[in-house]
Structure 1
Amino acid sequence: MSDSEGTFCLVLHSHLPWLPHHGSWPVGEEWLYQAWAHSYLPLADMLHRFADEGREDVLTLGMTPILAAQLDDPYSIKAFHDWLGHWQLRARHASTLWRDEPLLRDLAASEHLAAVRASEELETRWRHGFSPVLRSWVDTGTIELLGGPLAHPFQPLLEPQVRDFMLRGGLDDTALRTGHRPEGIWAPECGYEPGMEHGYASAGVRRFLVDGPALRGDTSAARTVGESDVVCFGRDLEVTYRVWSPKAGYPGHAAYRDFHTWAHEVGLKPSRVTGKQVEPQDKAPYDPALAADTLRLHVKDFVDTVVGRLRELKRQNGRESLVVAAYDTELFGHWWHEGPAWLEGVLRALPEAGVRVTTLKGALDAGHLGGPIDLPASSWGSGKDWRVWDGAQVADMVEANTALQQRLLDLAREGEGTGRDAVRDQAVAEAMLALSSDWAFMVTKDSAADYARRRARVHTERFDALAVLLREGAHERARKLAAEFRAEDNPFGQLDARALIK
């Protein structure tokens, strides 16, 4: 190893449930377009700058197949373009309403400029979707790309055949879009049960992420799992929680832009946090200069925290150590307006402080590999166990999903030995969408629970409707119905139902 304080890996996980054609705010396409405008475009700008500078191994980026499909979808691209136009109109309207208030008037102008720039990016660099953009970073080595299974399921609750099908299908989907089949994945919800590493090895997965407690808090090196050569990395929660934790973190600072307070007449967020107990109507207007001063302090604080942590681990272990901080990409920009600027500031300041910044693969190349470990069943949710996805609140959903998987496998067996069938493919796609972990999460966390239950139920009912028609031999009716469903939900155009039965 070179002489350094140690190694830091930033891992970002990009995911939203499949949303096109499924309603509007607070649980529909608005989510996608806000995250696209305020997180994915700024992240792309930053990575293009690093790529132009010749920087390699800047960060590890997890991109779920379900999100990649949305960012490539022609319907989504057109609708996002319309959304950006409305953003410009809203900003222009705000400039007239706020013309006598200097801070708010300037905010309206900056919002309009941001919307225009976003439109220009969509019309040029992003005109063919996200995959060509993503591939450019992989080709140049700017990032390490992580994949994942189709439709973001909680893998420990899947039947082995279904789990393998979804994992391989997700990796194939990423290879189709980017020309690269990932060797690493961000397992949905960091869900793990003992033995899953063997399925990973069989599918060509060499490394994955778990939450820190699964490694009993020792995240200073990657570890091989059980008797396999598959490697796991753990989030360092002491460092990660400086930014975002269940209780606190930088984004809640009084100077930052308030995510929750809206000026509904223009659909913009005009306030700073001001104080946790301050009512929305009493919050102060957003002041970018004040936020920028705070941001510089938080960049320094995080760099100091990482350096201090690496020095502490070196004293404990007698060697250079590793810190992995992992977050949802949407935190940076969507939930935390100043997040993209903070992210770039940290990635530039850490090397200046003597820290090696690299990817998960780069950390292995630098020698950060410890001995084997037997991982417990775990996730990154509440309690670090499975309660979010199999607790009492969602017991009925778990039961329904278990039964759905059996019907899914039955349908696949019935089609064994036949040619590829678009109806079976669509039926399987509906089942994949029904098995998404997002629905249980939203119910357990009481975040649009009715919507989540409806989405799970709708996709299950569609699967059953197609399966019944196939069994009845009503092939023409089945084809028409599958075509209707495909027009609304078709994230996995290359999905081949025959792969469920080997």
Structure 2
Amino acid sequence: MTEEGTFCLVLHSHLPWLPHHGSWPVGEEWLYQAWAHSYLPVIELLERLAAEGRRDILTLGVTPILAAQLDDPYCLRACHDWLGTWQLRAQHAADRFRHADPLLRELASAEYRAADHALALFETKWQHGFSPVLRSLVDSQAIELLGGPASHPFQPLLEPRLRGFTLRTGLADTALRIGNAPSGIWAPECGYAPGMEHDYAAAGVRRFLVDGPALRGETAQAHEVGDSGVVCFGRDLDVTYRVWSPKAGYPGHPAYRDFHTWDHPTGLKPARVTGKHIEPADKKPYDPALAAEARAEHVADFVRTVVRKLRRIRAEQGKNGLVIAAYDTELFGHWWHEGPQWLADVLRALPEAGVRVTTLRGALAAGHQGAPVDLPASSWGSGKDWRVWDGAQVSDMVDTGAELQRAILSIVDDKLGTLRDPTIDQIVREGLLALSSDWAFMVTKESAADYARRRATQHTDRCTELIDLLRAGENERAAELAAWLRRVDGPFGQLDARGLRTG
């Protein structure tokens, strides 16, 4: 069989720092839904493929902020409770639907089986957290792991010192959990400013992802950025958008399970999409057989799309090309119920169609590198610029963030000596959480905007209070507050603010 070219699937796993911060729609429930419906099945799929001898299956980005939650003892206990509650909700659904449509009765049974399986997976493989599970996949080279900066900031808006520090901290956190720092990253929001490639080179990062328009659509090869020695890969939007786009994509098919329609007494989602303009009460019950037919059609369509694109590249360039599709991991299972099985089918169907499936590092090893490029300022957000994170709706947050960064650097320069200071460590930790890109995104997109502003303000106020106490000479009170904050809400215990000192 003629090899058509190379395909890379890149998944980005990220949720904001959520523990101890309330309930649905944006608190711990969010984390446990994604854990149960995306992380467990996707990792199980990767382990199954790895057991078959597959290597370089896909490239998986796991942000340090998510890794901290998936290893956190509180979250592990709470997720286990949540999975048990899922079983109970399915039992309640069986009673609630016992005289209803047979499809609803089957849905209750299927939910119970899924919850039982998830509990078994969690109790046998995840009790010590995500890192041991992930490390096995990394060590066997089943996947390529991408890291990222701590707290998921929009890097172009950070002061250079903070930008370098948060990147080093994030990579060090991954090394602590996995054993080695990744040599590639998925930059938060694919945010890029000219010159950042030199930050990457200094931190040991050798490859990163940008959105296709940053390369003017020239995504069929990887490209060195300037003469930095750092290579960028571009997401192919034509292919990626077959699955998920701002306006369409497979998950909106009428036969698929509807994410937005709830049976509130049980907390389950019993309906299929049915139609774009159908009211929730009028949606039809979910039918797995119809969904399976749609999934098979969409697997075939995706494979045809990839093959067609690779053949076009070869016709135009005279050599095999590269297609990269990149998505949030949470799409597969959490947002799109059928997503994990679609993913499994695609990862088997593409090689059968003559497509080499590999990772970003595998694509480089196969020779998919073109001429050097200079990249413009960019992101993968609306307009492919920075407007989501520095636009008019969040201008006050941008100004507050800039002021906070100056205050953090000032207190480090004025008060931090050669010995480690846990209070200043906590100042930096709270500052990084305040500067997470998630808050501006949620405000701009009007998705739980009040929650996002509250979280950003909470971390900003904590950071500022600690700084003010140190400025006032209230060192003991500052140390007590920092210790309390670290106990109740403290990712990145290894964060050492001395990395921000000059000289």
Q: TM-score, normalised by structure 2?
A: 0.98
- The offset of 1:487, in angstroms, is 2.2
Distance in 2 between the 1:434 and 1:106 partners? 45
The answer to whether the Cα contact below 8 Å between 2:225 and 2:232 also exists between their aligned partners in 1 is: yes
Query: Could you say which residue in structure 2 is the equivalent of 1:427?
Result: 427
Query: Could you say which residue in structure 2 is the equivalent of 1:92?
Result: 91
- The offset of 1:208, in angstroms, is 0.3
The answer to whether the Cα contact below 8 Å between 1:72 and 1:131 also exists between their aligned partners in 2 is: yes
The answer to whether the Cα contact below 8 Å between 1:430 and 1:462 also exists between their aligned partners in 2 is: yes
- The offset of 1:298, in angstroms, is 0.5
Q: Which amino acid aligns with 1:387?
A: R
Q: Which amino acid aligns with 1:69?
A: A
Query: Could you say which residue in structure 2 is the equivalent of 1:137?
Result: 137
The answer to whether residue 311 in structure 2 is matched with residue 322 in structure 1 is no
Distance in 2 between the 1:463 and 1:116 partners? 43
The answer to whether the Cα contact below 8 Å between 1:209 and 1:235 also exists between their aligned partners in 2 is: yes
The answer to whether the Cα contact below 8 Å between 2:91 and 2:108 also exists between their aligned partners in 1 is: yes
Q: Which amino acid aligns with 1:170?
A: G
Query: Could you say which residue in structure 2 is the equivalent of 1:18?
Result: 17
* SS of aligned partner of 1:363: helix
Q: Which amino acid aligns with 1:32?
A: L
* SS of aligned partner of 1:153: coil
Query: Could you say which residue in structure 1 is the equivalent of 2:212?
Result: 212
Query: Could you say which residue in structure 1 is the equivalent of 2:483?
Result: 483
The answer to whether the Cα contact below 8 Å between 1:415 and 1:498 also exists between their aligned partners in 2 is: no
The answer to whether the Cα contact below 8 Å between 2:236 and 2:323 also exists between their aligned partners in 1 is: yes
Distance in 2 between the 1:103 and 1:458 partners? 45
Q: Which amino acid aligns with 1:484?
A: W
* SS of aligned partner of 1:10: strand
RMSD: 1.0
Identity %: 71
Query: Could you say which residue in structure 2 is the equivalent of 1:459?
Result: 459
- The offset of 1:14, in angstroms, is 0.3
Greater CA drift, 414-423 or 173-182: 414-423
The answer to whether the Cα contact below 8 Å between 1:20 and 1:488 also exists between their aligned partners in 2 is: no
The answer to whether residue 11 in structure 2 is matched with residue 7 in structure 1 is no
* SS of aligned partner of 1:326: strand
Q: Which amino acid aligns with 2:356?
A: R
- The offset of 1:293, in angstroms, is 1.1
Alignment of 1:200-349 (within 5 A): 200-349=200-349
The answer to whether the Cα contact below 8 Å between 1:394 and 1:443 also exists between their aligned partners in 2 is: yes
Greater CA drift, 418-427 or 121-130: 418-427
Distance in 1 between the 2:215 and 2:388 partners? 20
Distance in 2 between the 1:9 and 1:327 partners? 11
The answer to whether the Cα contact below 8 Å between 1:241 and 1:249 also exists between their aligned partners in 2 is: yes
Alignment of 1:329-408 (within 5 A): 329-408=329-408
1:277-297 deviation digits (Å, cap 9, x = unpaired): 111111110011110111111
Q: Which amino acid aligns with 2:234?
A: G
Query: Could you say which residue in structure 2 is the equivalent of 1:193?
Result: 193
The answer to whether the Cα contact below 8 Å between 1:65 and 1:148 also exists between their aligned partners in 2 is: yes
Q: Which amino acid aligns with 2:28?
A: E
Distance in 1 between the 2:244 and 2:4 partners? 24
The answer to whether residue 39 in structure 2 is matched with residue 40 in structure 1 is yes
- The offset of 1:424, in angstroms, is 1.1
Query: Could you say which residue in structure 1 is the equivalent of 2:70?
Result: 71
* SS of aligned partner of 1:453: helix
The answer to whether the Cα contact below 8 Å between 2:466 and 2:478 also exists between their aligned partners in 1 is: yes
Q: Which amino acid aligns with 1:171?
A: L
The answer to whether the Cα contact below 8 Å between 1:211 and 1:380 also exists between their aligned partners in 2 is: yes
1:346-399 deviation digits (Å, cap 9, x = unpaired): 000000000000000000000000000010000000000000000000001000
Query: Could you say which residue in structure 1 is the equivalent of 2:55?
Result: 56
Q: Which amino acid aligns with 1:468?
A: D
* SS of aligned partner of 2:125: coil
Distance in 1 between the 2:467 and 2:53 partners? 52
Distance in 2 between the 1:329 and 1:496 partners? 30
Distance in 1 between the 2:154 and 2:35 partners? 24
Distance in 2 between the 1:415 and 1:112 partners? 56
Distance in 2 between the 1:67 and 1:417 partners? 31
* SS of aligned partner of 2:145: strand
* SS of aligned partner of 1:145: strand
In structure 1, stretches of 5+ residues that fail to align are none
* SS of aligned partner of 1:443: helix
- The offset of 1:3, in angstroms, is 4.9
1:230-252 deviation digits (Å, cap 9, x = unpaired): 00000000000000000000000
- The offset of 1:418, in angstroms, is 3.5
- The offset of 1:415, in angstroms, is 3.1
- The offset of 1:488, in angstroms, is 2.4
Structure 1 stretches of at least 4 aligned residues deviating more than 3 Å after TM superposition? none
Query: Could you say which residue in structure 2 is the equivalent of 1:166?
Result: 166
Alignment of 1:440-451 (within 5 A): 440-451=440-451
Distance in 1 between the 2:288 and 2:180 partners? 40
1:94-125 deviation digits (Å, cap 9, x = unpaired): 00111123111111111111112211222220
* SS of aligned partner of 1:61: strand
Distance in 1 between the 2:293 and 2:180 partners? 41
Distance in 2 between the 1:412 and 1:209 partners? 32
Distance in 2 between the 1:117 and 1:354 partners? 34
- The offset of 1:417, in angstroms, is 2.5
Distance in 1 between the 2:432 and 2:416 partners? 19
The answer to whether the Cα contact below 8 Å between 2:416 and 2:424 also exists between their aligned partners in 1 is: no
1:293-336 deviation digits (Å, cap 9, x = unpaired): 11111101000100000001111111100000000000000000
1:461-488 deviation digits (Å, cap 9, x = unpaired): 1011111222233232122211221122
Distance in 1 between the 2:84 and 2:476 partners? 41
* SS of aligned partner of 2:371: strand
Query: Could you say which residue in structure 2 is the equivalent of 1:81?
Result: 80
In structure 2, stretches of 5+ residues that fail to align are none
Distance in 1 between the 2:51 and 2:304 partners? 28
Distance in 1 between the 2:38 and 2:340 partners? 7
The answer to whether the Cα contact below 8 Å between 1:7 and 1:355 also exists between their aligned partners in 2 is: yes
Q: Which amino acid aligns with 1:105?
A: R
The answer to whether the Cα contact below 8 Å between 1:62 and 1:147 also exists between their aligned partners in 2 is: yes
Distance in 1 between the 2:336 and 2:455 partners? 28
